[in-house]
Structure 1
Amino acid sequence: MTLVTVQDIIETGRQSSLTGTVLAEWAEKGTPKQREYLHGMLTAEHKSRQQSRRQRLLSAARLPALKSLSGFDYSNVKFPQDYGRDALTSLEFINQAEDLVLYGDVGTGKTHLASALVAAACRQGIPARFFTASSLVMQLRRAKDEGRLDRELASIAKNQLLAIDEFGYLPIDTEGARLLFQVIADGYEKRSLIITTNHEFSRWGTVFGDDNMAAAVIDRIVHHGRLLQFRGESYRVKHALMK
C-alpha cells in the first residue's frame, strides 16, 4: 500500500474542483468521525477562500487609506428624516442600487465615511472602487486616448459600489465631464454611487460646464439617492500642529 504524503494531498487538492456527487459519495463511505473531519476541512477551505476574496477586493478598491465604520464620529452628520446610521451601515443601499451624496464642509468626515463604506462592502464580498473625481476622469481620458474606453467602462461596471470623492474640487473640461457623466449614467439603477462634495446641487452645472448635463446627473441621483449633510469644524484644522 502506497503511503499518501501531505504533499500528495496538497497537490491533488490544487488540481481538484469538488462536485456535489463526489462529496456525497465519499461522505456516505465515511464514518461519522471521518465525515466530521471532511466537514471541518471544507469549512476551513471556504473561510480561506472568502478571506482571500475580501483581501483581493480591498486591494482592487484602491482606497487612499483603510478606514472603518467602527468608531466613526457621526456628530457632524445630518441624516434624512427617513434614514439613519443603522440603515447606512447595514449597506442595504448597495443591494437596492441606491446612491448617497455626502455634502458639506471641508474636513468633516465625508472622505472618511465614503472610504469606510467601500471597505465595509469589500469585507462583505461586494466589489467596490474608490476614485477621486479628477483621478477617474484622467483614467477614463487615458483609456479613450489608447482606444480601450469600452473595456475600462466595463471594468468599472463590475463594481456594485463606486465612490467618487472630491467632486467639484478641481475643474473638469468638457471631454472629462462627458466621460464622468457616462459612468454615472451607465450605473443608474444598476449599482450604487457615493459622491462627496462641498458643492450644492445648484452649482453642479459649473462643475460639468453644462447645466443640462448636471440636471440629468442630479435627476438620476435624486431618484434613488439620499443626501447626508456634513457641518462643523475641519478635523484637520482642529487637530493641526500649526495654530
Structure 2
Amino acid sequence: MIELEQARLRLEELGLVQAAEALDAKLESAGRTQSTYLSFLNELLETEILERQRRNVEVRMKLSHLPYRRTLSEFDFTFQPGIDERLIRELAALTFVGRQENVLFLGPPGVGKTHLAVAIAMEAIGQGLPVYFVSLAQLVGDLRKAYEENRLDKRMRVYLRPRILIVDEVGYLPLDPLAANLFFQLVCARYEKSSMILTSNKSFGEWGELMGDAVLATAVLDRLLHHSHVVNIRGNSYRLKEKLKTGIYSAPSAQVGQKYPGASGSN
C-alpha cells in the first residue's frame, strides 16, 4: 500500500492527475487480465491523454463563444432536401480550412444555417482548430468601440487569430458607413489567410443595400466569394416545423419563394 501511495503521489507531482486517480482501477484490471507491464503502462497513460484531450476541447469550446452545441447528426436533412448533404459532410471534413476558403450559408430565418455553421465549428474544435463565433451586430459593435478608443488594431487581432471565424446573422440589420468599413477591413485582413463561415438571410444582390454602398459591398463579396462554397437553403423554418405539419401556421409566400442566387457548391 505504501508503494501504491508513493506511485500515486509521483504521478500527481508529474501533473498526471487523471492517471493517479485511475491507478487503483488499472492495477485491478491488469491483475485480472494478467496484462504485461507495458500494456498496463499504455492503458494508464491513455487514460491521462484522453482526459487532457477532453479538457482541451472544453477550453476551446468556451473560447469559441458558440451559442450552443449542435452536430451534423442532429441536423434533419430530410426536412431540407434541397441541401447537398454530401457537400456539407465534405465541409465538415475541414479541407476548406487548409485551403483558406470561405463558406456562406444563405436562406430565410430558421432553416438551419447557424446549426450547420456550429456543427462544422464543433468538428474543427474537436481537431484542435481555434474557432470564434460572433454575430455581425456584435462584431461591428465591438470594432466600433475599439475604433473610438484608438485600439482597433489590437482588437482586430481577436478576429484574425482563429482559423475559422463564424459571422452569424449577416443582413438582419443594415450597416452604417463606419460599420460597413470595419467589416470590409476584417474581410480584407483574413482574405487568403484563414477561413470564414457566414450566415445570411440576404441574397448577394441585396448586400449593397445592407452595407449602404454598392461598391463596398462588391469589394467585400469579391473577397468572400473568390475561394468559397455557397450553400443555399430554400425551405421552411425548423422552429415552426410542428405547426406547419398541423396547419396551425403557414409560411408567408414571400419567405418561401424568396430567391438566394448562387447555386449550392463551390466557387
User: Could you tell me the TM-score, scaled by structure 2's length?
Assistant: 0.75
Shift of 1:10: 4.1
Q: Give a deviation string over 1:171-227, Cα, whole Å, max 9, x none.
A: 211111111112211111111111111211111111222212111111112211011
In the aligned structure 1, how far is the partner of 2:216 from the partner of 2:83?
27
Q: Give a deviation string over 1:10-41, Cα, whole Å, max 9, x none.
A: 452139xxxxxxxxxxxxxxxx9444444334
Aligned length: 225
In the aligned structure 2, how far is the partner of 1:11 from the partner of 1:86?
41
In the aligned structure 1, how far is the partner of 2:241 from the partner of 2:230?
25
2:162 corresponding residue in structure 1 = 159
Q: Structure 1 6/149 Cα, relative in aligned 2: closer, same or farther at 3 Å?
A: farther
1:231 corresponding residue in structure 2 = 234
Q: 1:205 is aligned with what amino acid?
A: G
Answer yes or no: is 1:182 the counterpart of 2:185: yes
SS, match of residue 141 in structure 1: helix
2:167/2:197 contact within 8 Å kept: yes
In the aligned structure 2, how far is the partner of 1:237 from the partner of 1:35?
56
Runs in 1 of length 4+ with deviation above 6 angstroms? none
Higher RCO, 1 or 2 (CA under 8 Å, sep at least 6)?
Answer: 1
Unpaired runs of 5+ in structure 2? 17-34, 250-267
Q: Structure 1 103/67 Cα, relative in aligned 2: closer, same or farther at 3 Å?
A: same
1:198 corresponding residue in structure 2 = 201
SS, match of residue 114 in structure 1: helix
Percent of pairs identical after alignment? 34
Q: 1:12 is aligned with what amino acid?
A: E
2:15 corresponding residue in structure 1 = 14
Q: Give a deviation string over 1:122-178, Cα, whole Å, max 9, x none.
A: 122111111111011112122223333222221222211111111010121111111
Answer yes or no: is 1:211 the counterpart of 2:228: no
Shift of 1:70: 0.8
In the aligned structure 2, how far is the partner of 1:10 from the partner of 1:179?
50
2:6 corresponding residue in structure 1 = 5
In the aligned structure 1, how far is the partner of 2:58 from the partner of 2:202?
34
2:95 corresponding residue in structure 1 = 92
1:76 aligned to 55, 74, 80, which one?
80
In the aligned structure 2, how far is the partner of 1:77 from the partner of 1:121?
25
Deviates more, 1:142-151 or 1:101-110: 142-151
User: Could you tell me the TM-score, scaled by structure 1's length?
Assistant: 0.82
Coordinate RMSD, CA, aligned: 2.6
In the aligned structure 2, how far is the partner of 1:146 from the partner of 1:240?
48
Shift of 1:118: 1.4
2:120 corresponding residue in structure 1 = 117
2:27 corresponding residue in structure 1 = none
2:32 corresponding residue in structure 1 = none
Q: Give a deviation string over 1:19-78, Cα, whole Å, max 9, x none.
A: xxxxxxxxxxxxx94444443343333322221111111111111121111131234264
Q: Structure 1 71/11 Cα, relative in aligned 2: closer, same or farther at 3 Å?
A: closer
1:101 aligned to 80, 104, 107, which one?
104
Unpaired runs of 5+ in structure 1? 16-31
